[in-house]
Each structure stands twice: as structure tokens, then as C-alpha cells.
Amino acid sequence: MSDKLTEYKRATGPLPEVNRIWPLYGAGFENLGVHGGPIEVPMPRPGPDELLVRHDACGLCFSDIKVIKQGQEHTRIFKDMKTDPVVLGHEVSMTVVQVGADLAGQYHVGQRFIIQADIYKDGVNYAYGYMIDGGLSEYAIIDQRILNGDHGNYLIPVKPDTGYAESALTEPWACVIAAYELTYRTALKAGGTTWVIGTSGAGPQYQISSGFDANAHPDRVILTDVPAELAAWIAEQANGLGIEVIERNGLSPSEYPSICDVAPDAVDDIIVLGADADVIEAASPLLAMHGILCIMATEPLGRTVGVDVGRIHYHRWTYVGGTGTDVARAYADHPIRSSLKKGGKALFVGAGGPMGRMHVQRAIQLEGGPSVVVSTDISDSRLEDMVASFGAEAEARDVELVTLNPMNRDGYAKGMARFQGSGFDDIVVLAPVPSVISEASTYLAPGGVMNVFAGVLRGTMAQIDLSRVYLDGTRVIGHTASSIDDLKLMLFQAENNLLAPNRSVAAIGSLDAAREGLIALQDAVYPGKVVIYPHIRSMPVTAVPALAEEMPAVYARLANGREWTVEAENEFLRQALR
């Protein structure tokens, strides 16, 4: 290790008088930086209960593009960007370079961390790279919002030998592994609000064998045209349990919004008795966060249902159901599986980009994972790169990797024909396109699960055959972001060689090249992640394989001539540090 790299890792060298940052003053790339570049500001000084950290590596994320596009209208921006600009970058690894006097016994110079960016203090969101200056800067202050937030300390220690890019990219990777750790209720929400709706297709007899008794029960029940026997039983149980019962009979679907008058905080569980697509479509918007709509029916709906896949993604809505008469069994007998089925068939839709590649990589490397992995994308070059990256490993692990481009209609139809009958046990949708989500859902196998991972806007409607929820036991779920525990788990997996975030690195560049990197991200230039190293000399965004000519000694330390490694990063920093 060179003296320069040794000093850098120790973080004992003198600090500059200025800090270079990329300020974002509003919507549009024209408001990123000044004259198309970063600016210099005075070096921040930590207070007694603060840390000064050096940003070592920062991954660029499509969430950054959303902030650039939306500017002041972004849901995580609560300040005047013109006077207090945003500094993007939430996929970041950092090193402590100064410690406030009051923290001297807890932290030390040279200590390394990653950060859970979704920071809350006193119930207010101060996301790193949004409200708090992020990784597209050389240095930043870590204050008590981060060190002593609502969920404790948002910093997570990193081992000294872990790579900078490797640790920074545990943040997006944590979002991926979190998608397979989701849990859902298997009963009515205790203490919540339940709305039971009878339709013309309802049978005469239903029951709720558990979750509506002294052990657990909702606090409020709304009844709309419920069959007499079930309504009488609910009223009797409610009387003994102190449950509020509200009757709203004779409502047409267009009148369902009036339920908000008696359930202003939305409804946790909606039970639809009978197959009625109009009722399901009209009732669904009243679901609360983590709400569940349960369909009890034996006949198909007769048409697809407009499903708000944005709220499935962000609000964790889901649909369950059954063909029997016991509501409790419809919840409990088919618990929602978020993990990939062992030995099953998995379809990753729109998976050629950075996040999709992570899903595919994980599926191939996963012990007890699927035996068939199908990845689709509209870019042949991205699919070819995926095969080059993971094909040999998939073959070695006895996993069949299939890549298909839907723009090649004949080839796509031929490739998907073999799955028409049996379907897929798992479908992960990474393309935020309603028609794509709708089409993907038709390939679900009985008992299959589709995860809407793509960040579609709330209110985005996709047509889905919900008959299959109760007839075939299929489920549609969604996921966004990750928790501190997810990030800790991912860092553990990275540091123990269980998953390799470095394989996601597609291009690297200096802080000066951040704007170029963000535009490349927007334009889908690279199949994987672009990583910015804020403390290297000026360097344009460079594809990792192109280092063969630019930095042959770095290239020689890549894995398979194409994959970033800690050894390659160390050699790169030896040559490139300022």
C-alpha cells in the first residue's frame, strides 16, 4: 500500500480549507451545480456533539434523478432549495476525520461507516442526500439527528478492509434483500377498522373463526349489505367485546367514499363477500397503510380489476381471499411468501438495469433459490452483459438463466411460450409501466407471488385478474426502501462474502463527473451502478472494462476482466487520489 493510500485510510492528513459540493437549486439539470460544475464552500467545523466525515464513495441512484426532475415538489424536500440547496447522494461510505469534544470517547478519526439514509428525528424526516447534505460532496457534518435519531444511531460501522464502493452499495442492495423479508398479517388487524361488504354474489353463511374474539379483534366494524346471519353474529360478538359497529347499507360503489365519514383514518381490512369487480375497485382506495382486501368467492370476477400498484408498492396494500366461508382461513391458510421459492421459476421483468441485476445476481447466488431465472429487458446489450456477468455462475450452480427482449416479439413469444401453462412461482417487476405489470401478472403460477418493486407513482392503475387471488392463491405485493436492520444484514452478507455488491459497479468517476454520471444514469448508459469517488483527481465517468487502456494495473485486478474488486479499488486509489 502506498504512503498516500495509507494516509488516506488512516484519515490523519491535514484537511483542506474548502469543501467541494454539488448543490441542487431546483428542478432540472440546469440547476445542478454552478456553470455545470461543483462549487467550493468553507470547510464545515463539527460542534462538540458532531462528527466531520469524509465521503469516500457514493453510488448514483435513480432516486437522485427523481429529485432533479421534481425539485421543490419532491416529497422528501421540506426546504427552500434556492437558498438552501440539496446535496444529493445517499448511497455513501464515509470516514470520520474530526470528532467533537463531547464524542471523543465514542468515535475516533479513521473510523468507517455507512448510513441508513431514511433519518427521522422527533417524527420529522431528514433523509441523507435530501434534507441533510449527502455524498456528492467531499465532507459533511454528522449531527445528533443522525447519531441520536428516532431509531437510534443511523450510522453503521464498517470493517477497515471492506471496500469503499462495496460498502456504499450495500444501501441499494439492502432494498433488494428487504424485498424478500416482507411479512404480512395473517388475520384482521387487532385494534383496527374492518369493513365487511356483501354483494349480489354473496352466499348465505360465513364465519370468522379467529381474530374476532377476546384474544384479538378490531375496534370498529362497518357493515354494508352483509348477509343477515353473519351480520347478527358480528353484532352479538361486538356487543360482548366492546366493538363499535356501524351499518352503512344500500351504498352503491360510487358512494363508498362516504365511508371516510365514519372511518377517517381509512380501513385496515375490507372483506368482500362474493365476486364483484366493481365493488373491489371502488372499495380498494379506502385501504389504510398495510391494508388488506379479502375476497370470499367461488366464481371468477368476469373482468380484470384496476389495481393501484403505486399503493401496493408504497403503502404495502395486498389482496387475499379464498373459496370457503371462513374469513379467518382466507387470511391464515395461505400466508404471503415474500422469499423466492426453492427450486421454482422466477421472472424478473425489466431487469437489465442496476437494481434488476442485483435481483438476478441474488437469485442465482441464493442457497435454495429458484432453478429457473428469466430476465427481460428492452436492451439487447444489457441482456448480453447480464449473461456475460452471471451466465457461467448460473450454469455452475445448476440454475437456468434465460434472457428475453420483448421488443423482439417473435423471440420473446417463443421464449415465454414454455411458461404459459405452468407460469412463474415468483415475478419481480422492475419496470414502472402499468401495461407491463398487467402482462406480467398473467404469468403467475398457482400460489405464485408478484412483487411490484418498481417505484410507480401512487394512483398508477394496472389491470389485474384478482379472481386468481382466491381461486389460485396468487398474491401481489410491493416494496420500497429498507430499514436499519436490512442495511446491517446486507453489510454482514457483503463482509462475509455471501453477496458481492462490487459486482454491481459498472462505471466510476470523480466528483467533477457527478453530473455526467447522473445524466448517464438517466439515459441508461450503463447496465450497473455508477460510483463517484469524491477525493480522486478529475476523471470522467469511465466504464470498468475500459480501464484496460486507462489503468491497466487496475484492470489486472478486476474479477473476470469486468468486475470491480477491493484489490482493484485499492490500486485505483493509489493512482488516482489527489
Chain segment 107-164, per-residue pLDDT in tens: 999 999 999 999 999 999 999 999 999 999 999 999 999 999 999 999 999 999 999 9
pLDDT for position 480: 87
Long-range contacts of 431-439 (CB under 8 A, 24+ apart): 431/349, 431/350, 432/456, 432/460, 433/350, 434/309, 434/460, 434/461, 434/462, 434/463, 435/462, 436/349, 436/350, 437/309, 437/349, 437/462, 437/464, 438/304, 438/462, 438/463, 438/464
Asked if the model's pLDDT at residue 413 lies above 80, the reply is yes
Q: Which residues contact 6 (CB under 8 A, 6 or more apart)?
A: none
Q: What is the CATH number of domain 345-457?
A: 3.40.50.720
* Length of the chain as a residue count: 578
Chain segment 267-299, per-residue pLDDT in tens: 999 999 999 999 999 999 999 999 999 999 999
Chain segment 147-156, per-residue pLDDT in tens: 999 999 999 9
- Rounded average pLDDT over 439-452: 98
Asked if 297 contacts 436 with a C-beta cutoff of 8 angstroms, the reply is no
Mean residue pLDDT across the chain: 97
pLDDT for position 527: 95
- Rounded average pLDDT over 525-536: 98
Q: Look up residue 49 and give its amino acid.
A: D
**Architecture of the domain delimited by 3-179+496-539:** Alpha-Beta Complex (3.90)
CATH superfamily of the domain spanning 193-332? NAD(P)-binding Rossmann-like Domain (3.40.50.720)
pLDDT for position 421: 87
CA distance 473 to 445: 9
Secondary structure class of 298 (helix, strand, coil): coil
94-96-99 Cα angle (round to 5) = 150
CA distance 319 to 467: 10
pLDDT for position 1: 46
DSSP sequence for 147-205: HTBTTB--EEE--TTS-HHHHHTHHHHHHHHHTTS----SSPPTTSEEEEEE-TT--S-
Q: Residue 320 — pLDDT band, cuts 50, 70, 90?
A: very high
CA distance 365 to 493: 12
Percent of all residues in the chain with a pLDDT value above 70, rounded to a whole number: 100
- Rounded average pLDDT over 27-36: 98
Q: Residue 2 — pLDDT band, cuts 50, 70, 90?
A: low
pLDDT for position 3: 79
Fill in the DSSP letter of residue 524: T
Secondary structure class of 420 (helix, strand, coil): coil
CA distance 466 to 280: 9
**Maximum Cα–Cα distance for the chain, whole Å?**
82
C-alpha distances out from residue 64 to 126, 139, 365, 406, 517, Å: 15, 19, 29, 28, 11
Q: Is 250 left (phi over 0), alpha (psi -120 to 50) or beta?
A: left
Q: Look up residue 494 and give its amino acid.
A: A
Q: Residue 455 — pLDDT band, cuts 50, 70, 90?
A: confident
Cβ atoms within 10 Å, residue 516: 18
Asked if 181 contacts 338 with a C-beta cutoff of 8 angstroms, the reply is yes
Asked if the model's pLDDT at residue 27 lies above 80, the reply is yes
Asked if the model's pLDDT at residue 488 lies above 50, the reply is yes
Q: Which of 334, 335, 325, 333 is nearest to 208 (CA)?
A: 325
CA distance 128 to 135: 8
Asked if 177 contacts 60 with a C-beta cutoff of 8 angstroms, the reply is no
CA distance 237 to 214: 9
Confidence (pTM): 0.95
Chain segment 296-314, per-residue pLDDT in tens: 999 999 999 999 999 999 9
Grid coordinates of 146: 443522525
CA distance 69 to 49: 35
The answer to whether 3-179+496-539 and 193-332 have equal CATH topology is: no
CA distance 506 to 561: 12
Residue spans of the domains in the chain: they are 3-179+496-539, 193-332, 345-457
